[in-house]
Amino acid sequence: MTDTLIRSWQSVQEEVLRRINARIWKPGELIPNEAELASEFGCARATVNRALQNLADTGLLERRRKAGTRVATHPIRKATLDIPIIRNEITAKGFAYRYSLISSEKIVPPRDVIARMQLERGNKALHLVAVHLATGVPYVFEDRWINPGAVSGVEGIDFTRQSANEWLVENMPFTAGDITFTAMTGGRREAEILACEPGAGLFVIDRTTWTKDRAITFVRLVFAPGYRMHTVI
Amino acid sequence: MTDTLIRSWQSVQEEVLRRINARIWKPGELIPNEAELASEFGCARATVNRALQNLADTGLLERRRKAGTRVATHPIRKATLDIPIIRNEITAKGFAYRYSLISSEKIVPPRDVIARMQLERGNKALHLVAVHLATGVPYVFEDRWINPGAVSGVEGIDFTRQSANEWLVENMPFTAGDITFTAMTGGRREAEILACEPGAGLFVIDRTTWTKDRAITFVRLVFAPGYRMHTVI
DNA sequence: GAGTGGTCTAGACCACTGT
DNA sequence: CAGTGGTCTAGACCACTCC
């Protein structure tokens, strides 16, 4: 069967993939346990473990203690997206970065924002609207809410100089968050700020960031037409 | 300093994160090497390795042999997106899945498709247009090109019964690919097929799939308005 | 209870790369 | 060349969960 040496976890992974493709191990089927594979391949169990864990991470295998390892019936493909800081994304493309604050005010947020950030009703939050430019051309329009109750000292900051994103990255502890990607139809406001046609289809990222159980910030990024987010599987 | 026991790779990771947040290790700075950390924490080097590798995967650390491990200056956040098979996505939401083939023909592709798939000019390819429906409502519009030179037997398949995606998943070896997410402004064609307003902003996924160096298929998925792709960091 | 994956260890060697 | 991360090993124990 396998004449080539199987010693590294990568080659174990390749061989396992080959068997899945060749339908030697069919979707939903149990595959041999780590110890058996290790002895078959002539390597340590830890090496097999590393390979199978990696495949489970990408969604091709399903593993459970005692139950064993199965070939996934629904091969969910996982794609990893890099979400860089906008300044870096723009300068990496060779453009000059500029950030421009459009408005800043402390007001009671609309209901959908209250819901997303799980704020108490009636409390005010900091609302920032800004645009990031690439060599003078609008690149992305940023509409952000910051929870002052979770971010001490935010009210004294001058966000005309530094973008809120960069300030938060530098001054808030490591955080968790959730991200939504979607598309919207641009209205008059987006058209003005992004200098594009009203009615254009625009790529949107919504991101809420949390420390423990409190929302720090909710930001909607609306990108200028033509923006593409790229990844490799 | 550290009174709590640090024995698992997760707790090593937490402690490293704490030090990054507390600016004990600042962005761009070199952190102690694996052996030093292992002796400080009182665990094996492999345990430290596992923790640091995980952090490097999420983009918080940059590691190079001989050069050592540094705190990333640009904290690129990586998000992992699940890309399920459309049938599963629809049924998982509790809707009835239906697939409808709109057209199927073998023609010479337009130039942009030739470029994307690196086909030879003048050669024909299989062009499929279809729509996936959720309980009768258009969910996503699929425009696909298949390279017959890379997929033997594809010309005899009846794609009115089975979607090309599912057939390819089941019949082609495990493949690599690249994915682009973007937004478009829907035209008359999209409006008709997706039963929405012309001019709506639509979420688009472009995917090219390869075996080794040959393109298998290029597919553009145009989702109905309101589609959201969600993930957690 | 028992079988399976999850993890830790101590030691070893390898691979890459900065100097 | 030498220092650092990358990986492998053999063995051990633990944690989960199916029966």
> pLDDT tens digit string along B1-51?
444 567 799 999 999 998 988 889 988 899 999 999 999 999 999 999 999
Domains of chain B: 9-71 (1.10.10.10), 86-223 (3.40.1410.10)
Per residue in A59-68, is it b (16+ CB within 10 Å) or e — as a string? bbbbbeeeee
Report which residue type is found at A62: E
User: Taking residues B148-160, what's their average pLDDT?
Assistant: 83
A166 CA: distance to closest CA in chain B (Å): 10
User: Taking residues A64-71, what's their average pLDDT?
Assistant: 94
Q: Do A233 and B179 touch (CB under 8 A)?
A: yes
Query: Coil, helix or strand for A57?
Result: helix
The predicted structure's pLDDT at residue A37: 94
Q: Which residue of chain A has the CA closest to B229?
A: A181
Query: Coil, helix or strand for B84?
Result: coil
Task: Determine if strand C comes within 7 Å of the CB of B169.
Answer: no
User: Taking residues A87-110, what's their average pLDDT?
Assistant: 92
Give residue-wise pLDDT tens across range B189-217: 999 999 998 999 999 999 998 877 788 89
Phi and psi, residue A86, nearest 5°:
-60, -40
Is the pLDDT at A178 greater than 70, yes or no? yes
CA distance B37 to A13: 30
Across all residues in chain B, what is the average pLDDT? Answer: 88
Give residue-wise pLDDT tens across range A109-144: 999 999 999 988 888 999 999 999 999 999 999 999
The residue that minimises its CA distance to C1' of C10 is B44
The DSSP line for B3-58 is: -S---SHHHHHHHHHHHHHTTSS-TTPEEPPHHHHHHHHTS-HHHHHHHHHHHHHT
Q: How many CA atoms lie within 13 A of B10 on its CB side?
A: 0
The predicted structure's pLDDT at residue A139: 96
Beta bridge partners of A140: A132, A223
Is the pLDDT at A3 greater than 50, yes or no? no
| Run of H or E including A79 | strand A77-83
Handedness of CA A31, A32, A33, A38 (dihedral sign): negative
What percent of chain B is helix, strand and coil (3-state, nearest 5)?
30, 35, 35
Give which of B99, B210, B91 is closest to B164, Cα–Cα: B99
Length A49 CA → C6 C1' (Å): 9
Report which residue type is found at B72: A
The predicted structure's pLDDT at residue B5: 65
Give residue-wise pLDDT tens across range B83-121: 778 888 898 899 999 999 999 999 999 999 999 998 888
User: Taking residues A208-216, what's their average pLDDT?
Assistant: 84
Across all residues in chain A, what is the average pLDDT? Answer: 89
Q: Could you tell me the end-to-end alpha-carbon distance of chain A, in angstroms, rounded to an integer?
A: 29
